[in-house]
Every structure is written in structure tokens, then in C-alpha cells.
């Protein structure tokens, strides 16, 4: 009768090494991550803190995180410059652009992914090609077209050129290609038309991609500065928040009111941060579904 010796006996040195090497590696990793997070978060916290400081305190201690005298004078002064109207304009324009972008990008993405037609691949390559053109190159042609169509100094000029984006079509097409075709076949067997299949079967499954597109579209429209700059030339009541704050900063000259400027930056940053934190799970899921499949 033979006896087998088990090799599962732990080596004392290996065990001793694991007891201190692993915690040390974890400690170093967390320390590096904490330092990196602090580097990114500190400017944001400093901006929030400075928006509640007085101007003399900002001049004396510009890097302190805790205000010695808590005040709302920066926000009060900011709203005396018609910031409320700028915020409403930004919210209105961003919301309309987001809704229309969702509608048109979903239809175009589904058509390119599922409906074969002559020149579909060429059309998709043409759409991708527009993403390679720097936006700054299109400023002058965009201004000429908008002026010819009479879309300067009105909401149409702010909204219409942005309702369809190449990125939105690309994002939705990539996602629809990952949806099993069996869902559409089952819907057709049940007698559903092409539009019924799209709106009742396919579109509900695209929630991750739709949420990702909502965040991208709303963020792009909310933070857009260059397009409102070329559209709004005389009518100051159409200023959006980024445009109004930029022109407000230029009108202050050398005596910058830092607490008011940073209060304005909070108005532009906080809504987007809230939207992202609420929908981040769907956002990351939509990017992973749409970006991996080629």
C-alpha cells in the first residue's frame, strides 16, 4: 500500500511574505489613487469655496478651502447681470437639442444598422468623415449659411444646426448592431410593422445607449460657447450661460470679480455633475456596448 504526500503544505517564507507584501501593495495603490483624486478634486472644491468668499479674502488667501467669512455676494452680484435669463436659454436650447438628437440619431442609426439600401456603407463612411473635421474649420461656413437662411439672432440658429450629430448616429448604429436580430424576427412574425418593431421592441432595449447620448448631447449643448458666439451677434436676450459669462468676464476689465465668476462656473458645472452621477451606470453601460463592437 502506497501513501501519497500532499503538496498543499504552505511554505513558511511564502506565507510570511504574503502577510506584509499584499497589504503594502494595497496601501501604496490606495495612496497613489488618493493623491490623484485629490489633484483632480481640489480645483473644483477651491472653486466652490471661492464663490462664497469676499473679494478681500480672495486677494489675501486665494488657496484656502474654508472661507473665513461666508457670503453670497458673488451669487447676488451674478444674478444682477441677467444670469437667470442666460440659464433659462441654456436649459431650453440644451433640452430641445437633446430630444431632437435622440429622435433623429436613433432613426438614422437603426436604418444604417438594420435596413439595407444602396450606398448605406458609403453614407456611413461619409458621416464618420465629418467627425474628422475640426470644428474651428466650420465656423466661417456655418456663419455664412446661417446668415443666408436668416437664422442669426434667433432660437432657430441656436438649435437647428445641432439637432443631428455624426457622433450620435455612430453611437446608436453601433448599439443597434449588438441587438439580436431574433427580436425583430419575432416581432415581424407577430405582425408588427417596421416602425412598430423599432419603437416598441428595439428602442426600449437601447436605454443604455440613449442615456449615454442624452448625457453627451446635453453636456455639449449646455457647455457650447463657440456656436452661440457666431449665432448671437446683437440680441443679448439670447445669450446662453457660457456666452454670457465669457462676455461678463471681458466686461470686468482688470478688476475681476472672482467670487461672481466662480459662482457662474458652479451654475454651469453642478447641473452636469448631478446628471452624470444619476445616470453614470447607464452611461458606462452604453459606452461599453456601443464602443467595443466594430
Strand, helix or coil for residue 163: coil
Contact 85, 237 (CB under 8 A): yes
Taking the domains of the chain in order of start, what are their residue ranges? 12-60, 75-292
**Distance, C-alpha 92 to centroid of its chain:** 17
Three-state secondary structure call for residue 134: coil
Rounded Cα–Cα distance for residues 8 and 5 (Å): 9
The confidence score (pLDDT) of residue 252 equals 61
Per-residue pLDDT of the chain (294 residues; tens, 9 = 90+): 444 444 555 545 444 456 777 778 888 988 999 999 888 888 888 888 888 888 888 888 877 788 888 888 888 887 778 888 888 999 999 999 999 999 999 999 999 988 888 888 899 899 888 888 888 888 899 999 999 999 999 999 999 999 999 999 998 998 898 888 888 888 888 888 888 888 888 888 888 888 889 888 998 999 899 999 999 988 888 999 888 888 777 656 566 778 888 888 888 888 888 877 777 776 666 555 554 444
| Residue 5 DSSP label | P
Kindly list the distances between the CA atom of residue 38 and the CA atoms of 31, 44, 55, 269, in Å, as whole numbers in the listed order: 10, 10, 26, 18
From CA 168, how far away is CA 65, in angstroms rounded?
A: 39
Nearest residue to 67 via CA among 286, 232, 262: 262
What integer pLDDT is reported at residue 285 of this predicted model? 62
CATH, domain range 75-292: 1.10.3720.10
Amino acid at each position: 500500500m502506497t501513501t501519497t504526500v500532499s503538496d498543499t503544505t504552505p511554505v513558511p517564507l511564502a506565507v510570511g511574505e504574503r502577510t506584509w507584501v499584499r497589504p503594502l501593495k494595497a496601501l501604496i495603490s490606495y495612496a497613489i489613487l488618493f493623491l490623484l483624486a485629490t489633484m483632480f478634486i481640489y480645483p473644483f472644491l477651491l472653486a466652490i469655496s471661492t464663490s462664497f468668499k469676499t473679494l478681500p479674502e480672495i486677494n489675501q488667501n486665494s488657496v484656502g478651502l474654508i472661507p473665513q467669512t461666508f457670503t453670497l455676494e458673488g451669487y447676488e452680484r451674478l444674478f444682477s447681470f441677467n444670469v437667470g435669463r442666460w440659464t433659462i436659454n441654456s436649459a431650453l436650447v440644451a433640452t430641445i437639442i437633446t430630444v431632437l438628437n435622440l429622435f433623429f440619431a436613433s432613426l438614422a442609426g437603426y436604418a444604417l444598422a438594420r435596413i439595407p439600401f444602396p450606398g448605406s456603407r458609403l453614407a456611413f463612411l461619409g458621416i464618420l468623415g465629418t467627425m474628422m473635421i475640426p470644428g474651428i474649420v466650420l465656423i466661417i461656413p456655418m456663419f455664412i449659411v446661417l446668415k443666408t437662411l436668416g437664422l442669426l439672432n434667433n432660437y432657430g440658429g441656436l438649435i437647428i444646426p445641432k439637432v443631428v450629430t455624426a457622433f450620435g448616429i455612430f453611437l446608436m448604429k453601433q448599439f443597434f448592431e449588438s441587438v439580436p436580430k431574433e427580436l425583430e424576427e419575432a416581432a415581424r412574425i407577430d405582425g408588427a410593422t417596421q416602425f412598430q418593431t423599432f419603437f416598441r421592441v428595439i428602442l426600449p432595449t437601447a436605454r443604455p445607449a440613449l442615456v449615454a447620448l442624452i448625457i453627451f448631447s446635453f453636456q455639449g449643448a449646455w457647455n457650447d460657447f463657440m456656436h452661440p458666439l457666431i449665432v448671437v451677434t446683437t440680441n443679448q436676450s439670447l445669450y446662453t450661460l457660457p456666452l454670457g459669462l465669457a462676455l461678463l468676464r471681458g466686461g470686468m476689465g482688470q478688476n475681476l470679480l472672482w467670487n461672481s465668476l466662480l459662482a457662474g462656473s458652479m451654475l454651469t458645472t453642478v447641473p452636469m455633475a448631478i446628471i452624470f452621477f444619476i445616470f453614470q451606470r447607464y452611461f458606462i453601460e452604453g459606452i461599453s456596448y456601443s464602443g467595443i463592437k466594430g
